Structure 1
Amino acid sequence: MSLWTVMYSAIRRAHILARKRTIVQPSYQHAAPVFDLQRSCHGKLYEMAPANSSKYMPTAKQVFFKSVKYDTSTSGTLLDWQKQSDIDKHMSKDPCRLMTKEPGKQPAEDPCEQFKRMRLKNDPKQCPPSGSAAPDGGDGCNGKDSGDPNKSLKLTCLLGALAAMVAGGLIAWFLASTKNDDNKGAGGGSDGDNNSADAKRGVSGLVTSPDSSEKLPKHVPYLIIGGGTAAFSAFRSIKSNDAKAKVLIVSNEYHKPYMRPPLSKELWYTPNTNEKTNKDYRFKQWAGSERSLFFEPDEFFVDPEKLEESVNGGIAVAQGFSVQKVDAQNHTVTLNDGYKITYDECLIATGCAPKNLPMFRDAAPSVREKVMVYRTPDDFDRLLRYAAEKRSITIVGNGFIGSELACSLAHYSKENDGGKIYQVFQESGNMSKVLPNYLSRWTMAKMKNQGVCVIPNASIKSATRDEESLKLELNNGMTLLSDIVVVCVGCSPNTNLASPSKLEVDRTLGGFVVNAELEARRNLYVAGDASCFYDPLLGRRRVEHHDHSVVSGKLAGENMTGAKKPYVHQSMFWSDLGPEIGYEGIGLADSSLPTVGIFALPSATDARSSTDNLTVNREEDDGSKHTIIVDEKSNSDVVTWDDDAHGEQPDYGRGVIFYLKNEKIVGVLMWNLFSRVGLARTIINQNKKYDDLNEVAKLFEIHS
């Protein structure tokens, strides 16, 4: 074995040891904040308690999250996100060279060069700088015999350098391993491959908390499977009805419960107030108030091993564990390592898992490491690294997450002179499953104005990898070079428990089938994205909205304490596409249904006139399916348009869209109108036909 091979192996081992419990993250700054007083109501959507109740809402001083400690002594590398093959490739070129990719900085001096220079200073005859020949024509630094009588001294120097590197790695590992266990509060970025993500977390020392399932209680009164919004909402409901309730959450995530909507919205618009990183993911809401992504700080939770002895009860979170099976008859759950926990009441709130595309999932490892999905704070951290380094980013998908993220990244890139943001999807416009065609295409034009390079009617045919980026071949003949691809094509309910637990899953919608009280079995409930419930007005449904998770979790918690209430809530949703577009919806907002849209369009002379004076225009490519009612004083004679049209396009500033089924209103979308969800919910619940939707639209005061 050559000397270089020995050095290479030792250095790799030292490097792995040094990084085992350390995550390096370069510093960054958020883009400038955008505040919109009209959207102040969106901030209230993150609150689970009523607006006039402060019982469960922490103060600004209480909101604190213990995040992972970052090693600031090392230059910002991306080794956490690179495969071992990538490391091998670079180190084989120069075994002593550690990779650095922090933009705008010179790489650290090669350890080999530094050592050679020191030797040359002491004895110029022994080892010249790299690239120079030894005095006798040999090259003692590369292990070749130069005929030098002091050959043993050269080997001693090389072995000394090797020993110093190994010792340094061991010391760094020891120091990192003795840091606070807060390192367990964050994980690695997701690339769509769960095994890869788990491997990264394992290397970082993020396994489970507590470190063994044996430290978990053997019995709990209330057990919740899943650690998301529905789970935490259920806990608050349980605690409000059972003051000393002991609740255990079993979650396969590595964070305490947090909200997901800000990950694609406000977090990207919030200025960073810290010098290094936004460790607790604090963000500014549109109205300017600040809060954390996490529902409660770490101090709020009880250690799982101390839950049984807690006099006043509380909530404990077992992080990194997964449930393999639920025995509803014997009130027992079995964890993935075989450990069993019995319960009195149990809630399944496993949520959804983001989908990936088969062409990426089955691609070569070099391609997969440049592809990610987007759902967790770890995904935000990873994508932020690329954005901060001014990389080009491609979003695949035109739904809520894909469109919101594209706008947010474009804003961030514009504020920080960043890279290009692409959005690729097969449909003809953004949010096409929700918005009528005319509004979907208009929204797409607005997104282009915000800086997103939108490519509709296209799909990715193939993806290949060069040294730094992906080469994406589209089916329309275009080729994109992108540093990272973010797949945002929806998610699937996590129902792996169903088969071993003998629970029913809806064949069409997915999700655990539950009764009106959200029960799948006696004393076994399901809430949130994974529940498939029956809506008396709209039929069987499965909803993936924050509001549904909050309310269904709350109801499940009440029923776990004996309330036995039916779930009849019409959940709402909202979206923010940059500073110009925001909307709220409720019910079946499905663009495949007939719609009637009433908009207040500004005229050239001013003018927002009364809705008493209206004309009707029908979209040309949809026949009479989508009806658009606009102010007849508007300059626009035609409300449809295409990308090749010249002149100013109509401005759908404010309006309301009604979605119809059997001539009844089953969904309402309020376009740049806020705080009117209660009215829309009342209209849907009336479940009747309206002779004149103009009169209904007046209730929304679209001109106010």
Structure 2
Amino acid sequence: MPAPTTFVIAGGGLAAAKTAEGLRTEGFNGRVVLVGQETHLPYERPPLSKEYLQGRSDREKIFVHDASWYRAHDIELRSGISVTGIDRAAHQVTLSDGDRLGYDKLLLATGATPRRLTVPGADRDGVLYLRTVDDCERIKATLSTARRIAIIGGGWIGLEVAAAARAAGVEVSVLEAERQPLLRVLGFEVSAVFADLHRSHGVDLRLGVQVREVTDAGVRLADGSAVDADAVLVGIGATPNTDLAAAAGLTVDNGVQVGADLRTSDPDIFAAGDIANAYHPLLGAHIRVEHWANALNQPAVAARAMLGRDAAYDLLPFFYTDQYDLGMEYTGYTPPGHNDDVVIRGDLATREFIAFWLNDGRVTAGMNVNIWDVTDQIKALIHAAAPADRTRLADPAIPLDQI
């Protein structure tokens, strides 16, 4: 009897779980093996810096599926184990427990790792990072006892943790090297909204500063000043986990390079989620974004492609944040540092507005802040790929679907 067709998924997060789900949804009845380094069931990461961190959601809600789902769908979970090598010629992977596992198709969903701080004292026990649920538990415990924390980095993770800390009554200093938090993502005008938001909630926001050292009393800056803190959280970005792919000789360039069908340079290996630098048919370029929506939606495309069916991932990038009383959704893509051409519809001061980013007069991205049910209209403006009337775009009296 021939061996069953085996699909191996390297990774234990949302993208991995959704790929397994997608394969079963598409009718694949062969063997599916999910190899995840963490000992937990696959879970979603956004709650770790939002509602779960703040204690507004139960732990069980972060998991993609419960254990019974994997049993019912005959998904083999190899938890606490990682894929350490790929033998493309033999169609085998080596596991961290020494086992070798054959595959017919392989999906890489190995995610990303937080960038480490490289200054004296950065390896102290009180220095925290946020990526895993265990990291989140350590931060929650810290927020229950700390008087003051210092957050190095004013990106999405840093600001969301700052909001959670303030909700817990902890004093917060955010230390950011740029002139504004989120500057490269949003540009100066819109990033100022987030700076004002955090200052209005009592955050000590220090901009244009460099960290020189982490001490037992907090952080020392390059100008010699000290920031007192009981704990330090580092949020300075993440690096895609591409070592496995690179060692196997796959094309790696700002992630694992894949086509719109999420296929790598090896026809039997695919990639999804944070590591995938995927060709986007609408944008006409490869892009890699570390957004929850990619990990959620790319796997269905990968599953179809793994089964030899026509498939292309063409959804626009999407992400969201909740900080204090500000809720935001961002749709589309503007390369970091190319966000100066922006049209504002609404009032920045009251934090109720839509920001549109343009390139050659065309809308490439839109962000709605405390305004809801407009994502479809923003998508339509981006898909139109035609110059937009800036005056009409900025006028709240004109419905978006009439621009």
Provide TM-score, normalisation by structure 2.
0.91
Q: 1:428 to 1:406 in 2, by over 3 A?
A: same
Aligned residues of 2:345 and 2:394 also touching (Cα < 8 A): no
Match of residue 270 from structure 2: 525
RCO comparison, higher one (Cα < 8 Å, 6+): 2
Match of residue 295 from structure 2: 549
Q: 1:271 to 1:673 in 2, by over 3 A?
A: closer
Please list, as runs of the form range in 1=range in 2, the aligned pairs for 1:198-347 lying within 5 A after superposition. 221-242=6-27, 244-271=29-56, 281-282=59-60, 292-302=61-71, 313-347=73-107
Q: 1:531 to 1:271 in 2, by over 3 A?
A: closer
Please list, as runs of the form range in 1=range in 2, the aligned pairs for 1:536-685 lying within 5 A after superposition. 536-538=281-283, 539-579=285-325, 581-589=326-334, 590=336, 592-601=338-347, 651-685=349-383
Please list, as runs of the form range in 1=range in 2, the aligned pairs for 1:372-451 lying within 5 A after superposition. 372-413=128-169, 419-451=170-202
- 1:488 is matched by which residue type in structure 2? G
Please list, as runs of the form range in 1=range in 2, the aligned pairs for 1:135-150 lying within 5 A after superposition. none
Q: 1:518 to 1:271 in 2, by over 3 A?
A: closer
Rounded to whole Å, the distance in 1 between the matches of 2:75 and 2:202 is 44
Partner secondary structure for residue 247 of structure 1: strand
- 2:176 is matched by which residue type in structure 1? F
Cα deviation, 1:586-642, whole Å, max 9, x if unaligned, reads 2224453332332333xxxxxxxxxxxxxxxxxxxxxxxxxxxxxxxxxxxxxxxxx
- 1:266 is matched by which residue type in structure 2? E
Cα deviation, 1:358-404, whole Å, max 9, x if unaligned, reads 115xx47xx52121211111111111111111332111111111111
Aligned residues of 2:34 and 2:77 also touching (Cα < 8 A): yes
Aligned residues of 2:165 and 2:172 also touching (Cα < 8 A): yes
Q: 1:447 to 1:240 in 2, by over 3 A?
A: same
Aligned residues: 394
Aligned residues of 2:341 and 2:359 also touching (Cα < 8 A): no
Post-superposition offset of 1:330: 2.7
Q: 1:271 to 1:228 in 2, by over 3 A?
A: closer
Partner secondary structure for residue 689 of structure 1: coil
Cα deviation, 1:296-316, whole Å, max 9, x if unaligned, reads 2223233xxxxxxxxx75212
- 1:435 is matched by which residue type in structure 2? L
Partner secondary structure for residue 257 of structure 1: coil
Q: 1:423 to 1:696 in 2, by over 3 A?
A: closer
Match of residue 516 from structure 1: 260
Aligned residues of 1:234 and 1:557 also touching (Cα < 8 A): yes
Larger Rg, first or second structure (1 or 2): 1
Aligned residues of 1:323 and 1:334 also touching (Cα < 8 A): yes
Partner secondary structure for residue 358 of structure 1: coil
Aligned residues of 2:41 and 2:63 also touching (Cα < 8 A): yes
Match of residue 237 from structure 2: 490
Rounded to whole Å, the distance in 2 between the matches of 1:268 and 1:505 is 34
Aligned residues of 2:261 and 2:311 also touching (Cα < 8 A): yes
Post-superposition offset of 1:228: 0.9
List 4+ stretches of structure 1 deviating above 6 A. Answer: none
Answering whether residue 126 of structure 2 is matched by residue 370 of structure 1, we say: yes
Partner secondary structure for residue 390 of structure 1: coil
Partner secondary structure for residue 313 of structure 2: coil
Aligned residues of 1:246 and 1:313 also touching (Cα < 8 A): no
Partner secondary structure for residue 266 of structure 1: coil
Partner secondary structure for residue 301 of structure 1: helix
Partner secondary structure for residue 585 of structure 1: strand
Q: Gapped runs of 5+ residues in structure 1? A: 1-217, 273-277, 283-291, 303-311, 414-418, 602-649
Of 487, 496, 499, the residue aligned with 2:246 is 499
Answering whether residue 386 of structure 2 is matched by residue 688 of structure 1, we say: yes
- 2:115 is matched by which residue type in structure 1? K
- 1:252 is matched by which residue type in structure 2? Q
Rounded to whole Å, the distance in 1 between the matches of 2:104 and 2:223 is 57
Aligned residues of 1:599 and 1:652 also touching (Cα < 8 A): no
Query: Whose strand proportion is higher, 1 or 2?
Result: 2
Please list, as runs of the form range in 1=range in 2, the aligned pairs for 1:99-118 lying within 5 A after superposition. none
Aligned residues of 1:220 and 1:342 also touching (Cα < 8 A): no
Partner secondary structure for residue 267 of structure 1: coil
Aligned residues of 1:373 and 1:487 also touching (Cα < 8 A): yes
Aligned residues of 2:393 and 2:400 also touching (Cα < 8 A): no
Q: 1:456 to 1:660 in 2, by over 3 A?
A: same
Partner secondary structure for residue 341 of structure 1: strand
Cα deviation, 1:446-473, whole Å, max 9, x if unaligned, reads 21222322111212112233xxxx3421
Aligned residues of 1:238 and 1:245 also touching (Cα < 8 A): no
Rounded to whole Å, the distance in 2 between the matches of 1:326 and 1:700 is 49
Partner secondary structure for residue 694 of structure 1: helix
Moved more, 551-560 or 429-438: 429-438
Aligned-residue RMSD, C-alpha:
2.2
Rounded to whole Å, the distance in 2 between the matches of 1:380 and 1:315 is 27
Post-superposition offset of 1:693: 4.7
Partner secondary structure for residue 184 of structure 2: coil
Partner secondary structure for residue 321 of structure 1: coil
Q: 1:330 to 1:675 in 2, by over 3 A?
A: farther
Rounded to whole Å, the distance in 2 between the matches of 1:691 and 1:392 is 48
Rounded to whole Å, the distance in 1 between the matches of 2:105 and 2:50 is 35
Q: 1:692 to 1:389 in 2, by over 3 A?
A: closer
Partner secondary structure for residue 403 of structure 1: helix
Rounded to whole Å, the distance in 1 between the matches of 2:242 and 2:187 is 32
